[in-house]
Structure 1
Amino acid sequence: MTNHSRRTFIRLTGAAVGAATLGAGTATASESDSRFFINLRDVDRSAVPDDVEIVHDLSEADVLVARGDQDRVDGTTVPDVTIDRSEDNAGAVVEADGPPASGGSASHNHDGPASNTELQWDKRVQDLNNELTDKPGGGKSIHDTTTGAGTRVAVVDSGVYAEHPDLVDVVNTELSENLTGDGFDFRPNGAGSHGTHVAGTIAATNSNDGADGGVLGTAPDTEIVSYRMFSGKEGFQGDGYAGWMKAAEVGCDVINYSVGFPFPFVFPEELPALREEKRIAEQVAAYVRSQGTVVVNSAGNDSLDMGSSDPERGEILSLPTEAEGVFGVAATGPIGYGWGGKHSDNEAKWLTGNRLEDPTDSPAFYTNYGDGVDVSAAGGDADLDALNGGVEDAGQDLVYSTVNTVGEDGTVTAGYGWKAGTSMAAPQVSGAVALVRSLRPDASVEEVESLIQETASSAPGGEQYHGAGHLDLEALVKAAR
């Protein structure tokens, strides 16, 4: 039985939502403040009344994001969607705090606590860089071939804390933008560290000169453009799509969109507007792809078989993952990384022998699967009994990356932390796109996606959980080179 008690919830805003019941926390905006999409393939632009405010003009994709009285527009409109993360803190299924960037012990590597990079099982298992192991010089690594130089990645999310020591000089502060209209900039504003964590997985540089060092991203020489779509815990889907369009217009190679429509907003027979929502997503994705930008999206965290049917509620449709033109990523993770009584204090051996109960490419307990999954990647897993029971180090099966925290006095502190979710799997693939484009700058969207899928490896659970397979950076870089 899937546990939805901590999932994000969604509400539609606008006149069309009256018949929809989405459970606790559902609310609707008043007509005067409602937001909705106008599909210009069915509505003449000149027929939009002057008192309907255009929030985002996405007319290159034949879409307008509007605010006002939806009923005054004659033609196809559909309510915008508000994604509320207040019930799960930041969009991760499970998370745990780590140390501040300024802290840590100088003692590690066999004789004490692991250093920061030694907690990055997701990067170590891919042989990303020999600095991540206890045996420097142990053969050629991914970063001996490419580090993603010359590429650009958009993170459309809760904002990125650009002052983190592992993200300094990574974020393009001139292009980064706040899409919410709340008056602040692109940095996080009340929605936690979700976007900062995602950015670190993609592009952290391990530049922290503290005793325990920093963390390393898949493509540390790429450039991050942060588009913030969350103000506080809430974000509009329309602001997210505006981020997609802006990313394409400034030449981003890939958009990381670790955002989606969670349970129960997955049943089009109950919510017919979902089918028009899918159409809007596909129009925006088609334009973005035409500009050479890949759209990578997290598959969702509700253990749903996408594309199947619920016996009581009908068809399951997970958006935007199942929209054509969106590259969907499911999550995998280990059980037993550095804990469980089978380990020495040699971090280099944490991924070897019989030390893992489940391997790093096994499906995570929460991941959506089935239709819409193009590949899987490391998103973190968890033994919930061990984690909730306070078993030491059980949280190390989650993905470790950059975070930011805010004190009671408003002071922002850079640090590190663990999160698990398909939100954490998507940036593994976004970083991989940067590696491919650094080697093949002129590769089309279709060529990049095909390379990732053709080089993916087989994994437990097969196609249902992994699509074409599990992300394999070594094979991918070899093929791209």
Structure 2
Amino acid sequence: MANHNRRKFLQLTGVALGTGLVGTNIATGTPNENTRFLIDLREVSRTDVPSDIEIIHDISQIDLLAARGDASSVGDAAATTPDLTVYQDDAGPVVERSGPSVDEGDRNHNHDGPPKNSEYQWDKRIQNVGDLTDKPGGGTFIHDTTKGAGSRVAVVDTGVYDAHPDLADVVNDELSENFTTDQYDWRPNGAGDHGTHVAGTIAATNSNNGPDGGVLGTAPETEIVAHRVFSGVEEEGATTGDTVAALAAAADKGCDVANFSVGYINYDIEKHPELLEIKEVYRRLTEYVRAKGMVFVNSAGNDSVNMSKENMLSLPTEVKGIFGVSATGPIGCGWGGKHSDNEEKWLTGNRLEEPTTEPAFYTNYGNAVDVSAAGGNADLEALNGGVEGAERDLVYSTIYKTDASGNTVAGYGWKAGTSMAAPQVTGAVALIRSLRPTASVEEIEMLIRETASSAPGGETYHGAGHLDLKRLIKRARK
């Protein structure tokens, strides 16, 4: 196993971290009828918006419209801002790995029995969510107290594949909605399995009766509202307008928490002042959803940058009132020669090269982080070199795949990123609301911070600390 440290990984892989705006949807030159932009109703009256401007989203809850057309025809410069593209917070250097489909079994024999899907879930096992080894040993688990019943979670993402057996009856199909401009519903429809992986981390029910079982989420009795903001249509990227509309609607639908795994990174605000306008949009949004009782959880991003730097603006994580989550993960979970043939012992003793609370090599850090949570880590030399089992340091959850006949089939796979860390906290919020239905946003956030545990790297990487479900639920049930 290679010696692991953040700088060494970045040097080995030649990862190029961004030095400018990461992804915009800004039209250059003269605006035209295809330009997406936002209209600030505090700067221009709605009655003064020309009739040939297409209103894509009415977000008047925060005095905003998402529109398409000629932005120059709508008031003065202060009345509009470009509708910027947003991107998923996946760890770019870490390629995802697919596992089995739901009806496949891993027949590799380990001396404690063939591995179950849930045994790959180091993130749930280390938090004592449930008894997830193939040799149940009793004890007390988080789910002995609560499984999140009565709570509602918005997953603002690529959609959720609800045909997965571990997500059956989890998604509210009446409240779920498509916020893109394509013609499909709220399911992925080619937009990717990111949202399905996130939903599994939050609410998978471990209902697969295949040979290796399923996976378990933090709050398997919560209700998922899938708000799709990414499209499978090539020209349809997710925009600020789509995502803000989806988040405001989630609050209006009574969601206790929204999971949001997208963002923008900018190193030079002077060159891109439009990001300050976008920051104001998220400030209004955050104020609105918090007043409605919804916690807004966001991934911190995966550029391995210090968000405390003066010229750094990381959106939307840096907006006051958004709960920012950084990522941690182990090195050597079930591979590398240290009892890799015994899943029950993967996380015990000194078998890990790095602990599960180690800051992931890719995670952003700094003063916008509220807490850290399991997002997956990697020894990139081993992972990209095909070392057997190296993917097990990533987060394992629900996905879907396409078989040789072109059919969509449910499956399991590994991903890493702060996108995988945020839903750990989102699931925790669902557990708290199941125990304290009237708890305020401020009370929930305080509980998570105050019960977080210390971890390597301290406040810089973990904010108040690392998510600790045992301490959190003990405090919340009082």
In the TM superposition, what is the alpha-carbon distance from 1:255 to its structure 2 partner?
0.3
Number of the residue aligned with 2:3: none
Number of the residue aligned with 1:156: 156
Secondary structure at the aligned position of 1:150 is classed as coil
Is the 1:89–1:192 contact (alpha carbons within 8 Å) kept by the matching residues of 2? no
Is the 2:107–2:114 contact (alpha carbons within 8 Å) kept by the matching residues of 1? no
Alpha-carbon distance between aligned partners in 1 of 2:92 and 2:406, rounded to the nearest angstrom:
22
Number of the residue aligned with 1:347: 343
Number of the residue aligned with 1:380: 376
Gaps of 5+ in 2: 1-6
Number of the residue aligned with 1:43: 44
Number of the residue aligned with 1:118: 119
* From 75, 78, 84, the counterpart of 2:81: 78
Question: How is 1:77-476 mapped onto 2 (pairs within 5 angstroms)?
Answer: 77-83=80-86, 93-105=94-106, 110-130=111-131, 132-232=132-232, 234-262=237-265, 265-309=266-310, 315-407=311-403, 409-476=405-472
Is the 1:93–1:301 contact (alpha carbons within 8 Å) kept by the matching residues of 2? no
Aligned residue identity for 1:166: D
User: Within the alignment, does 1:13 sit opposite 2:16 as a pair?
Assistant: no
Alpha-carbon distance between aligned partners in 2 of 1:324 and 1:38, rounded to the nearest angstrom:
22
Is the 2:160–2:195 contact (alpha carbons within 8 Å) kept by the matching residues of 1? yes
Change (3 A) 1:402 1:331: same
Alpha-carbon distance between aligned partners in 1 of 2:230 and 2:420, rounded to the nearest angstrom:
17
Change (3 A) 1:129 1:109: farther
In the TM superposition, what is the alpha-carbon distance from 1:54 to its structure 2 partner?
1.4
Alpha-carbon distance between aligned partners in 1 of 2:306 and 2:432, rounded to the nearest angstrom:
30
Change (3 A) 1:92 1:218: farther
In the TM superposition, what is the alpha-carbon distance from 1:275 to its structure 2 partner?
0.7
Alpha-carbon distance between aligned partners in 2 of 1:443 and 1:289, rounded to the nearest angstrom:
12
In the TM superposition, what is the alpha-carbon distance from 1:76 to its structure 2 partner?
3.0
Aligned residue identity for 2:464: A
In the TM superposition, what is the alpha-carbon distance from 1:344 to its structure 2 partner?
4.9
Q: Deviations over 1:356-384 (max 9, x none)?
A: 01100110000000021010000000000
Aligned residue identity for 1:333: G
Alpha-carbon distance between aligned partners in 2 of 1:217 and 1:188, rounded to the nearest angstrom:
20
Is the 2:297–2:422 contact (alpha carbons within 8 Å) kept by the matching residues of 1? yes
Aligned residue identity for 2:189: N
Number of the residue aligned with 2:4: none
The TM-score normalised by the length of structure 2 is: 0.91
Secondary structure at the aligned position of 2:238 is classed as strand
Secondary structure at the aligned position of 1:318 is classed as strand
The TM-score normalised by the length of structure 1 is: 0.91
Is the 1:108–1:115 contact (alpha carbons within 8 Å) kept by the matching residues of 2? no
Alpha-carbon distance between aligned partners in 2 of 1:467 and 1:114, rounded to the nearest angstrom:
35
Moved more, 216-225 or 278-287: 278-287
Alpha-carbon distance between aligned partners in 1 of 2:91 and 2:385, rounded to the nearest angstrom:
22
In the TM superposition, what is the alpha-carbon distance from 1:184 to its structure 2 partner?
0.8
In the TM superposition, what is the alpha-carbon distance from 1:230 to its structure 2 partner?
0.7
Aligned residue identity for 1:73: V
Change (3 A) 1:9 1:165: farther
**Identity percentage of aligned residues:** 63
Q: Deviations over 1:117-173 (max 9, x none)?
A: 00000000000012x135524321100000000011000000100000100000111
Alpha-carbon distance between aligned partners in 2 of 1:250 and 1:354, rounded to the nearest angstrom:
46
In the TM superposition, what is the alpha-carbon distance from 1:92 to its structure 2 partner?
8.6
Q: Deviations over 1:406-441 (max 9, x none)?
A: 346541110000000000000000000000000000
Is the 1:166–1:208 contact (alpha carbons within 8 Å) kept by the matching residues of 2? yes
Alpha-carbon distance between aligned partners in 1 of 2:148 and 2:172, rounded to the nearest angstrom:
15
Change (3 A) 1:351 1:89: closer
In the TM superposition, what is the alpha-carbon distance from 1:31 to its structure 2 partner?
1.9
Is the 1:92–1:420 contact (alpha carbons within 8 Å) kept by the matching residues of 2? no
In the TM superposition, what is the alpha-carbon distance from 1:345 to its structure 2 partner?
2.2
Secondary structure at the aligned position of 1:230 is classed as coil
Change (3 A) 1:11 1:344: closer
In the TM superposition, what is the alpha-carbon distance from 1:285 to its structure 2 partner?
1.4
Q: Deviations over 1:15-38 (max 9, x none)?
A: 5x55xxxxxxxxxx9621111112
Is the 2:116–2:134 contact (alpha carbons within 8 Å) kept by the matching residues of 1? no
Q: Deviations over 1:3-53 (max 9, x none)?
A: 5559898543345x55xxxxxxxxxx9621111112222222222222222
In the TM superposition, what is the alpha-carbon distance from 1:460 to its structure 2 partner?
0.3
In the TM superposition, what is the alpha-carbon distance from 1:99 to its structure 2 partner?
0.5
Alpha-carbon distance between aligned partners in 1 of 2:328 and 2:123, rounded to the nearest angstrom:
10
Is the 2:286–2:322 contact (alpha carbons within 8 Å) kept by the matching residues of 1? yes
Q: Deviations over 1:220-261 (max 9, x none)?
A: 000101011111262122111111011111101000001111
In the TM superposition, what is the alpha-carbon distance from 1:111 to its structure 2 partner?
4.4
Change (3 A) 1:6 1:182: farther
Secondary structure at the aligned position of 1:199 is classed as helix
In the TM superposition, what is the alpha-carbon distance from 1:110 to its structure 2 partner?
3.1
Is the 1:452–1:471 contact (alpha carbons within 8 Å) kept by the matching residues of 2? yes
Aligned residue identity for 2:80: T
In the TM superposition, what is the alpha-carbon distance from 1:105 to its structure 2 partner?
3.9
Aligned residue identity for 1:291: K
Q: Deviations over 1:95-123 (max 9, x none)?
A: 11100011114776634542100000000
